[in-house]
Structure 1
Amino acid sequence: MDPVRVTEIPEAGVASKSWWREVTRKEWNALAAGFFGYALDAFDVMVYAFALTTLLKEWNLNPVEAGFLATVTLFSSAIGGIGAGAVADKLGRKKGIMATILLFSIFTGLSGLTQNLVQLAIARTILGLGMGGQWTAGVLLISETWSGKHRGKAIGIMQSGWAFGYVMAAIAAMFVLPLWGWRTLFIIGIIPGIFLLIWLALAVEETEMWKKAREEKKSTKLDFFQIFRADLIRYTIVITFASTFLMFAYWGLFTWMPGYLSTPVEKGGAGLSVLKSSGFMIPSMLGAWVGYVTFGFFADKFGRRPVFASYLAVAAVLVYVYGTVRDANTILLLGPLVGMFGSGAFSGFGAFCSECFPTRARGLGVGFTYNVGRMLSAVSPMVIGYFAGIYGMGSALGLTSLAYLLAGATIFLIPESKGKELE
């Protein structure tokens, strides 16, 4: 028996030319909260990837140590994501978003004041708690505000906020790193967080679905084990595995992509300068933005499962090729495609996760499956760093191709949920 009562919508997901006219102000505000929150999340997390080469030199770190800093952030983000889901079930979706933004903004700034590897690891660990929670709270807010007819589009647009934040991080790195260094790059992450929090407090409303569940005393009782009971355990296990494979591929690829571009050719890299490698990341993230958005539209039209699997199959091929080429022009041309197909499938998680779990367990279900996957995949940057030291950076990135394929295959173990309304 499905855990969520649903109402089938005829022609669900067929977007008319004026689909946006059906969207209310409350829905747009919820989407804006999710989009800009996730964009800021991406900015604060990914400035580390752009500062990586500088840190390696300044602190005399080896690739495994540098990968470890990314790994502890991902591991703690899994804990934060699970916790945020439970908190959002207890206190509300809006408060969950605001708490995570406050946390990761503060500790991004504090990262710029650290003096050694241990201090930076502590700051990045606490930052990760907020980072993981942001996605969970944003997906919950949008899923319970938008209709099933357009939910895939909305979550796809929200997910594209990551690419927007990544591009902003790349632009900041291009100008800030050469002039003021990596510390300033981290510190400026506090400023947009303050403005976003003020706007959230004034403009965004809590979801009616959560408020109704609270009145019925369904969301206030925290029962962690409900997602492991007979009606939900199938979804919990399968989505967690899909999340693990996809995030192993993503974090292994995109944490080290700037490093791959700036690593000398004799060490298996592309041999670009730090400035040029930051510039080359921008087309990749523009491609990722296209991937996030188009995935949502395609998933509403053709279904979650076939689109998810197709994106990841293409990503597996592109990533393998990307790690073998050394010509700058070819890398530049492949970058947007790698970004599009290597990132776009993340838009599917918010939709099918929210459609598999009932309101009483939606926060916990979404937070657990997505973020335990993040926890299990947290070793990816360190693993890629280890193999890069042996076989070269480009060859090490090829390991992510297999993970993309496994993620695409796993999704067929859960039912299609296109066009279903949550009740």
Structure 2
Amino acid sequence: MTTTVTPTAPARDLRDHLERAPMSLYQWLIVACAVLLNALDGFDVASMSFVSVRVEEEFGLTGTELGVVISATLIGMAIGSIAIGRIADLIGRRWTVLGSTALATLGMYLAASATDVTQLGIWRVLTGLGVGGILTSITVISAEFASNRWRGLAIGIYAAGYGVGAFAGGIAANGLQADFGWRAVFLAGALASTVLLVILVLVLPESVQFLTRRPGSDKALARIARRVGFDPARASVVAERSAATEGTHAGLQGIFGGGAATVTLLLWLAFFTVMFGFYFVNSWTPRLMVDAGMTAEQGVIIGMMLAIGGALGSVLYGVGAARIDREKLLLGFLGLSAIAIIAFVLTTSILVLAFVLGVVVGMLVNGCVAGLYAVAPTRYGTFARATGVGAALGVGRAGAILAPIAAGSLIDVGWTNVALYSTTAGLLLVGGVAVFLLTRRPVAPDAV
């Protein structure tokens, strides 16, 4: 997985080196940290769903009350993505990731000590705030430290971390709560997150794009340069850029000013529809398959097929992005996802085929999420990048929150499985239209 730099065109500066040179072991180590951080998201969401029955029994919750507790983390993530994204553009990505990881870890420890449902809900929101802040900044760091050739693969591997974490959450829930209670699952997550925080302190660098625009960053840039095989003496040299192409608008001006509003709204529409579809498919499919005539065990297997497919899909998108334009590839994934979802719901009576299509649906839908993660950072300049990506993630989390609630309401009024899945497929096509219109807009002048 290497590329070659043309001998007659040496790297102008550290940013240019990261963009064009073969990726170093250190750069892949940064991607590995991103995978583990995204796994924290998957673990947290999955573990709550696995312990929900015991939480419901202990606190005597109604279905509505349990639903609020389950959604608490997603609400926190939406707020954290938007609010903490702006902080990352002000103080840097590294400190935002470290602080957000510490916040999520604290939330997990506190959730393990909750004595009533109100406490649990509050601590789940706190955990969500941290996870939302993590995803905003680590998505940007992953994109900036990956070379142009392998950026899609790096983001794809990063997105696959969600499935890894969800799988780990299931193992932890099944192995711990029977003997030690549901709180042990959150305690296990908190301990793992504590170890990860120590690793991040030792490994995670600041964004080079951010450092090159901050005075007094020469030592930090030289340290990164040594780790990626670039001349430290040239690390702080920035290529000449005109004011018109600098792309340094920050905050709301950076995501709404200078023609960026259209890009932002298209990204929001794409994130909302894709995340709605992703969370509907992953949260409701096991239950709806039971309604379709499967046993509860078979419904769980379908859920596992979706998770397996999801991990594969993220990597598949990344491999494809090394050879195909990222946005065009995302369009293909969106179209195929819509087709696969309809084929899946129409063939649930054929068990083997349903299992196979479950893998395909999980693969394609998660590939769409990976695609959005890869595309979003290219649409904003350095000082608006975390703000823009964070806002898009926040809107996406709104879709994630709405999906299970809307599906439950529609089921209550008599919607069939075919109607539910067909509507989800239609929303993915709407996301495809948004991405298509996005391809007609230029990328940011200093895009990664």
Q: Same fold (TM over 0.5)?
A: yes
Question: What corresponds to 1:101 in structure 2?
Answer: 101
- Conserved in 1, the CA contact under 8 Å of 2:89 and 2:386? yes
TM-score using structure 1 length: 0.84
Q: Does 1:338 align with 2:361?
A: yes
Q: CA deviation at 1:393?
A: 8.3
Question: What corresponds to 2:278 in structure 1?
Answer: 250
- Conserved in 2, the CA contact under 8 Å of 1:387 and 1:396? no
Question: What corresponds to 1:15 in structure 2?
Answer: none
In 2: Cα distance, 1:258 partner to 1:53 partner: 15
Aligned match for 2:389, one of 354, 362, 366: 366
Question: What corresponds to 2:433 in structure 1?
Answer: 409
In 1: Cα distance, 2:356 partner to 2:174 partner: 20
Question: What corresponds to 2:253 in structure 1?
Answer: 225
Question: What corresponds to 1:297 in structure 2?
Answer: 319
Question: What corresponds to 2:160 in structure 1?
Answer: 160
Alignment of 1:275-354 (within 5 A): 278=300, 280-323=302-345, 325=348, 328-354=351-377
Deviations 1:221-265 (A, max 9, x none): 96333311123112111101111111111122212334445xx54
Deviations 1:146-179 (A, max 9, x none): 2222211111111111111111112223333444
CA RMSD of aligned residues (A): 3.2
In 2: Cα distance, 1:320 partner to 1:352 partner: 26
Alignment of 1:81-160 (within 5 A): 81-160=81-160
Q: CA deviation at 1:409?
A: 2.0
Deviations 1:308-367 (A, max 9, x none): 122222222333444462565444323211210121111112222111111121111111
Question: What corresponds to 2:207 in structure 1?
Answer: 207
Q: Does 1:237 align with 2:259?
A: no
- Conserved in 2, the CA contact under 8 Å of 1:148 and 1:422? no
- Conserved in 2, the CA contact under 8 Å of 1:320 and 1:397? no
Runs (5+) with no aligned partner, structure 1: 1-8, 10-19
- Conserved in 2, the CA contact under 8 Å of 1:157 and 1:296? yes
CA shift in 2, pair 1:161/1:118, >3 Å: same
- Conserved in 2, the CA contact under 8 Å of 1:52 and 1:259? no
Aligned identity (percent) is 26
Between 138-147 and 396-405, report the one with greater CA deviation. Answer: 396-405
Question: What corresponds to 2:403 in structure 1?
Answer: 380
In 1: Cα distance, 2:127 partner to 2:303 partner: 23
- Conserved in 2, the CA contact under 8 Å of 1:50 and 1:278? no
Q: Pick the structure with greater CA Rg.
A: 2
Q: CA deviation at 1:24?
A: 1.0
Between 177-186 and 22-31, report the one with greater CA deviation. Answer: 177-186
Question: What corresponds to 1:270 in structure 2?
Answer: 294
In 2: Cα distance, 1:321 partner to 1:173 partner: 32
In 1: Cα distance, 2:119 partner to 2:287 partner: 22
CA shift in 2, pair 1:112/1:253, >3 Å: farther
- Conserved in 1, the CA contact under 8 Å of 2:248 and 2:381? no
Between 114-123 and 85-94, report the one with greater CA deviation. Answer: 114-123
Q: Which structure is richer in relative contact order (CA contacts within 8 A, separation 6 or more)?
A: 1
Q: CA deviation at 1:71?
A: 3.2
CA shift in 2, pair 1:119/1:322, >3 Å: farther
Runs (5+) with no aligned partner, structure 2: 1-8, 10-19, 218-245
In 1: Cα distance, 2:141 partner to 2:260 partner: 21
In 2: Cα distance, 1:111 partner to 1:317 partner: 40
- Conserved in 2, the CA contact under 8 Å of 1:63 and 1:389? no
In 1: Cα distance, 2:192 partner to 2:363 partner: 26
